[in-house]
Structures are given as C-alpha cells and as structure tokens.
Amino acid sequence: MKITIFGATGALGSECLTQALDAGHEVTVLVRSASKLPDDSRKRIEVVEGDGLHAADVEQALGEGTEAVLFAIGVDKHSPEDLCTDVTRHILRAMVNSNVRRLVWCGGGSTLVEEDQVTFGARIVQMFAQIFMSLKHRDKEHQYELLQQHPEVEWIGVSAISFADCAHAMVKMLEDDTWLSKAPIIQY
C-alpha cells in the first residue's frame, strides 16, 4: 500500500515509519527537516520537506497513488494552539482532492468518545489532561470533532500506549475496517 506519514521524525512517527517499511508499504513522509530521518530509512522512502501547516506542502505529500495516511504528529508545550487540528484540516482537504480514503491517527487517551466505557479512572485521566496537558487535550478533542464532520474519510483514531504498540496498531489499521470512524483504546 502507498501511504504518507505525517510526524515521521517523532517518537511515534519513527515507529510508524519503521513498521510500515517492515510491512512492505511504499512510504512518503512530510518532514520539516529530512536530516532528522534515519539514513537507512531515508534511502527507502520518498521525502517531502515542508510543513503540515502549509496546505500546498500537504497536497504535495499526498502524491499520485497515495492510498492512506498515518498521522503521528505530537504536541508539546511549545506547539501552536490546535496544531494537530489545523494540519488535519489540510490533510482532509488534500485527501478529498486526491481521493484518498483511509486516515489512521493517534488520538489522546483523555478524549472520551461515545463507545467508551467511562470509568472513574477514565474521568481522572481526563481531568489530569485538562489541567496538566491542556494544550494537547484541547487539540486532540478539536481534531476528533473535525474528523467526525468528514464521513467521506475512513478514519480511525488510536489512543496510545507505548509508541511501538501504537505504531503496530496504526499500521495494521491501514487495511482493517474494524474500527472505521471510531477511536479505540489500544491495549496489549
């Protein structure tokens, strides 16, 4: 499968890149700096240098024949407000324009969705995230709301555990429809 990865130089994204290549996928990445990619991977992928906040760069990264997208962009305290949401907005537009259907993204464990069994522990995690990780929490909730407005896209949201396990689940979901339009919590 021909896929594009956003966030390929981060902790989760680098795992997605490694596992996607190991699974035999043809990979394109959009990165701000190609020098951050491992040399062995760089030789096996198509690299587009740019920024996910620029619609033209996102369009270029979803080149001809792209079948799916892995979204692994991370948020930290220095990230702009709604980074993931804004990049996702550009990705969704590019996907529609290029007829790409599948998007697998890493959500936030504190984003509670309809299907969740909301336990006391889940409420504690949500409250913790709202207080101590508010930028990331708000962004992931906004990203989830945006995705719900796009039924034409086959999206799946993953709530992370270890980066390797999250990447493993995301790569498998490229070709598995079980969790379409849902955001499952991955547990191993």
CATH number of domain containing 31: 3.40.50.720
Predicted model pTM: 0.81
- Answer whether residue 100 is part of any domain: yes
**Residue 180: pLDDT above 80?**
yes
Alpha helix (H) ranges present in 9-82?
Answer: 11-22, 39-42, 55-61
Least confident of 36-50, 76-90, 108-122: 108-122
- Answer whether residue 56 is part of any domain: yes
- Structural domain count, the chain: 1
State which residues form the domain around 147: 2-175
How crowded is the C-beta side of 11, counted as CA atoms within 13 Å? 11
CA angle 29, 145, 86 (to 5 degrees): 40
Distance of CA 82 to the CA centre of its chain: 14
Rounded Cα gap, residues 135 and 110, in angstroms: 12
- Answer whether residue 181 is part of any domain: no
- Answer whether residue 61 is part of any domain: yes
What is the token pair recorded at 90?
Answer: 């550009």
Least confident of 33-42, 118-127, 133-142: 118-127
DSSP state of 111: -
DSSP state of 180: T
Burial letters 140-163, b for 16+ CB under 10 A, else e: bbbbbebbeebeebbbbbbbbeeb
- pLDDT single digits (tens) 96-126: 999 999 999 987 655 555 665 656 665 666 6
Res. 134 pLDDT band, cuts 50 70 90: confident
- Answer whether residue 187 is part of any domain: no
